[in-house]
């Protein structure tokens, strides 16, 4: 087997499709199929269960996937790390960042890092927390910012904040006149939420159920600005972190503290435990820790 074989295998596993893997790798489907068969023959085990609709990994395939991702990741960063050992700080970092995070905080952090390490390229991807977790697991992201920690010992973490949610509503809504809002009082309200890719969606729905009702969701979006526009049009209410609410236009929307229960938006940086991390990614993580300590943002 060689590196290309591992890359083909990873793409089939990621997309659960020989056809899609062939498109991404710019080779024929027959080449992908032959590669997988050759790997299975060499390893003496079946890596995929196949049927007419999809393929999925066997238990052996799952083990081989984890090892393959580490090898491909190490090879991808070999040149960068060699250059860095020569004190040529170059490389590329891929970071997943939910749109709900504090934009100004991370903009300042990135500017701080770029000033210190101008030759390191940073690629940012706006994903919901659940997609960020998947990206860290499969190696497509080096680091990620998520809103609620997964129950998984696969990750190392750096917790940044513990921000309470507020109810965001139209200025003419009855709720806007209240000093605070109980979650149970929102039974009849229409909710505008982030999509299911965002852990905050699940957090809000679960808390509503604990309060005795299933929230009436009228709209889901991955875009914060669209959510605010929906609320400003008086089409529903939203639940957003208090720091996000500080940037809202009070003439269009009103934010009221949510109490009983208080729901917290927890923001953390995560990376894969025991997984290879490039020199550039380590530099960014060290810089982030120093920056957040200086700004007293670490929780």
CATH number of 78-160+266-294: 3.40.190.10
- The pLDDT assigned to 259 comes to 87
Q: Write out the DSSP string of 265-290.
A: EEEEEEEETTS---HHHHHHHHHHHH
Burial class (CB in 10 A: 0-12, 13-18, 19+), 179: exposed
CA 129 – CA 100 distance, rounded (Å): 10
Residues 6+ apart with CB under 8 A from 147: 98, 100, 101, 129, 198, 199, 200, 203, 265, 266, 267
Q: How many Å is the Cα radius of gyration of the chain? A: 23
Q: Cα torsion for 10, 14, 15, 16, to the nearest 10°?
A: 80
* Contact in structure between 68 and 2 (CB atoms under 8 Å): no
Domain ranges of the chain: 3-69, 78-160+266-294, 162-265
- The pLDDT assigned to 293 comes to 80
CATH number of 3-69: 1.10.10.10
CATH number of 162-265: 3.40.190.290
Query: Is residue 164 within a helix (H) or strand (E), and if so which, with residue range?
Result: strand 155-169
pTM of the entire structure? 0.58
The sign of the dihedral angle between the CA atoms of 296, 155, 279, 146 is negative
Do the two domains 3-69 and 78-160+266-294 of this chain adopt the same fold? no
CA 150 – CA 164 distance, rounded (Å): 19
- The pLDDT assigned to 278 comes to 82
- The pLDDT assigned to 214 comes to 96
CA 73 – CA 285 distance, rounded (Å): 18
CA 244 – CA 98 distance, rounded (Å): 13
What is the full per-residue pLDDT of the chain (299 aa) written as tens digits? 788 889 899 999 988 888 888 988 899 989 999 999 999 999 999 999 887 677 889 999 899 998 888 888 888 777 666 666 655 567 789 999 877 655 567 778 888 888 888 888 899 888 888 888 888 888 889 999 887 776 667 888 888 777 899 999 999 999 999 999 999 999 999 999 988 878 788 889 999 999 999 999 999 998 888 999 999 999 999 999 888 888 889 899 999 999 888 888 778 889 988 877 888 888 899 888 888 887 665 54
- The pLDDT assigned to 260 comes to 84
């Amino acid at each position: 087997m060689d590196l290309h074989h591992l890359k083909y295998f990873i793409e089939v596993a990621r997309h659960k499709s020989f056809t899609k893997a062939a498109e991404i790798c710019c080779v024929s489907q027959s080449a992908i199929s032959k590669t997988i068969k050759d790997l299975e023959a060499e390893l003496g085990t079946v890596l995929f269960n196949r049927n007419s609709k999809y393929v999925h990994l066997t238990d052996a395939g799952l083990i081989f996937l984890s090892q393959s991702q580490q090898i491909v990741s190490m090879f991808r960063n070999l040149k960068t790390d060699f250059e860095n050992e020569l004190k040529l700080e170059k490389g590329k970092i891929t970071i997943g960042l939910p749109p709900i995070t504090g934009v100004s905080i991370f903009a300042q952090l990135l500017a701080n890092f770029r000033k210190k390490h101008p030759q390191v390229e940073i690629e940012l991807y706006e994903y919901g927390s659940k997609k960020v977790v998947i990206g860290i697991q499969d190696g497509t992201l080096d680091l990620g910012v998520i809103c609620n920690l997964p129950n998984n010992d696969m990750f190392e973490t750096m917790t940044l904040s513990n921000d309470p949610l507020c109810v965001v509503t139209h200025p003419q809504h009855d709720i806007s006149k209240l000093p605070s809002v109980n979650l149970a009082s929102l039974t009849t309200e229409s909710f505008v939420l982030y999509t299911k890719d965002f852990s905050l969606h699940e957090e809000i729905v679960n808390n509503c159920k604990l309060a005795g009702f299933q929230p009436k969701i009228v709209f889901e979006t991955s875009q914060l600005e669209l959510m605010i526009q929906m609320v400003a049009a008086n089409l529903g209410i939203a639940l957003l972190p208090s720091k996000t609410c500080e940037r809202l236009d009070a003439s269009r929307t009103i934010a009221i503290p949510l109490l009983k229960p208080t729901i917290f938006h927890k923001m953390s940086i995560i990376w894969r435990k025991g997984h290879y991390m490039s020199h550039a990614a380590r530099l960014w993580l060290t810089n982030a820790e120093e920056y957040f300590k200086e700004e007293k943002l670490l929780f």
